[in-house]
Amino acid sequence: MDIPRRTIPGPDEEEAVMRAHRTLKTIAVGAAAMVILAGCGDSGADDDEDFTLDIAITTDLQAFNPLSVTNATDIQVMNTMYLPLMRLKEGGGLEPGLMSSCTYEDGNQRVEWTIDDGYQWSDGEPVTADDVVFTMQTGIASDMYGLWQGNVESVEALDESTVSANLLTPATTACEDSSQVLVVPQHVWGDVVEEQGADQMGTFTLSEKDALWVGNGPYVLAEERKGDRYTFERNEHWPTEHGEVKASSVVYRFFPDANTAQVALTSGEVAAIAPAVSESARRTLEGSGGVELKTVAPGTSYAKLTVNTDRVPEQELRSLLLSFVDPEQVVKSVLLDTGEPLVTPLVSGGLTPDVDEREFSTAEAERIVAETGADAREFRVLCDSGVANFVKILDLMTEKAAEVGITLVNDCQERNSARSASKEGNFDLFINPLGAGYLSPLTFTTISWDPRQADLGVFYGGHYEDPVIQQAADEARASGTSEAGEKAAKTIVERVYEQGYARGIYSPEMAFAVSSDYSGWETANFESFSITNAWSLANVTRAD
């Protein structure tokens, strides 16, 4: 479940020189590394324990804080070291992660988690219920767990392995909603939280604080070189029943653009690319020897177009602006037929209400333009400039808008700048990706439309002052059932499209590129938790 967090600024970018605090293994480079990475030589058990697993990332780490991972790359990398209470399983759905069970008590007013006693921290200490309570309480105090803050009255440890949360209103989604709670060790972080203040941990960073590099994942951070690489070494206390952990280390290597990452994969320099690859890259890599593509079906994430109602208050004009996106054209010419077109925003679980696309005749469009003076205005379109698909969509929109005299201005920016601009409302239209497929419908309505989450801004749901939307969300929260959540979610996205607040564009078929020299990768139905999740990495080995 994608529990939303505040947009947290990254660590001080002026600290260009990062200090090494541990004795590190020397990793061979050049031709010797190529031989290792290609898996040459004997592939017996002894050799399997010596190889390094290099993974390409195309966005550098920002927050470097497991309590406030809002950047997709941060989530991918932090998952290597810290485990969530629940995890996304291959093929969709959820299954236990750090916890072995989760139950609802007292008429769904209370939730109990039982922690798997097989997990240990990398310093040998057991993972206990106190660690989970400490993590949750810190996250709530820092205003980083929107859902918990909105509906959790209290959290406590009943014993060494049992955690209980009392809810303000009954809900049957708390178990799923805990999938992004990355648990940190109280015995290591306790003094830091006490000194800094739990409510200030949103701005905390692990950078250059190697005494805190204690995790419960299969690998633990050993060295950081910002803008270059992050080296994780094997956690000797990882329970073997969850994977043998064949590689001696995992190295996330930063490549400034997707093309260089792809070259590194095809040449054997890296074993995988962490983010899903683009459609054009997918076509190129399909013809490359030694590369395997693992796909995840549409319905788990999507792209949407949001209109800033403060800047565009006219409902008809908002709807006209949204009509400049042609989902069928986007899927065909941009996605190369590897996705599904959408009208409304995607409802969690892949649900799509039966809503017809609103079409405007030329005469109707010209009337709206004349009545609103839209031809005398410029509409700034924000997007992540690193996502080639979004830039292509904007180009198509610009051409169509020009046909009726409307000017769209490309204001696409680097990912984190775009996030900040969206939160501050510095845009007229915003093309952005969201993951909804792993959220329950009830969680979808709670996260996206709870007014207490207004600080998340339009990046998530828009938080429009709309009585129909608010009533639907309130009724879903009051009921606490999945059925009520599904009904409310459909009502909300239909209203969002009808009022011209936002629309869906497409749901992609994601593809992850890995070297065929390695096996054991697991995929999940959300990009940030896919092939680099802890259990996937714990099972990767050299292919026979």
The CATH number covering residue 380 comes to: 3.10.105.10
Is residue 380 a part of any domain in this protein?
yes
Q: What's the domain range around 457?
A: 301-508
Mean pLDDT of 517-531: 84
pLDDT at residue 537, as a whole number = 94
Out of 31-40, 307-316, 320-329, 439-448, which region has the weakest mean confidence (pLDDT)?
Answer: 31-40
Terminal Cα distance for the chain, rounded: 36
- 441: Cα separation from own chain's centroid: 18
Q: Number of structural domains, the chain?
A: 1
Residue pair 469/461 in contact by the 8 Å Cβ criterion: no
Is residue 449 a part of any domain in this protein?
yes
Q: Chain-wide mean pLDDT for the chain?
A: 82
Is residue 402 a part of any domain in this protein?
yes
Does position 395 have pLDDT exceeding 90, yes or no? Answer: yes
3-class state of residue 378 by DSSP: strand
**210 to 6, 21, 273, 375: CA distances (angstroms):** 25, 6, 26, 56
Is residue 187 a part of any domain in this protein?
no
Mean pLDDT of 357-373: 95
pLDDT at residue 14, as a whole number = 32
> Is the model more confident about 439 or about 468?
468
DSSP one-letter code for 531: T
Does position 382 have pLDDT exceeding 90, yes or no? Answer: yes
- Going by pLDDT thresholds of 50, 70 and 90, the confidence category of residue 443 is low
Mean pLDDT of 245-268: 94
Is residue 470 a part of any domain in this protein?
yes
pLDDT at residue 456, as a whole number = 44
- Going by pLDDT thresholds of 50, 70 and 90, the confidence category of residue 75 is confident
Is residue 251 a part of any domain in this protein?
no
Does position 167 have pLDDT exceeding 90, yes or no? Answer: no
**109 to 94, 295, 353: CA distances (angstroms):** 21, 38, 30
Task: Tell which residue, 69, 514, 16, has the closest CA to residue 228.
Answer: 16
Q: What is the distance between the alpha carbons of residues 417 and 449, in angstroms, rounded to a whole number?
A: 24
Q: Is 284 exposed, middle or buried (0-12, 13-18, 19+ CB in 10 A)?
A: middle
Q: What is the distance between the alpha carbons of residues 482 and 486, in angstroms, rounded to a whole number?
A: 6
Q: How many residues does the chain have?
A: 544
Is residue 185 a part of any domain in this protein?
no
Is residue 253 a part of any domain in this protein?
no
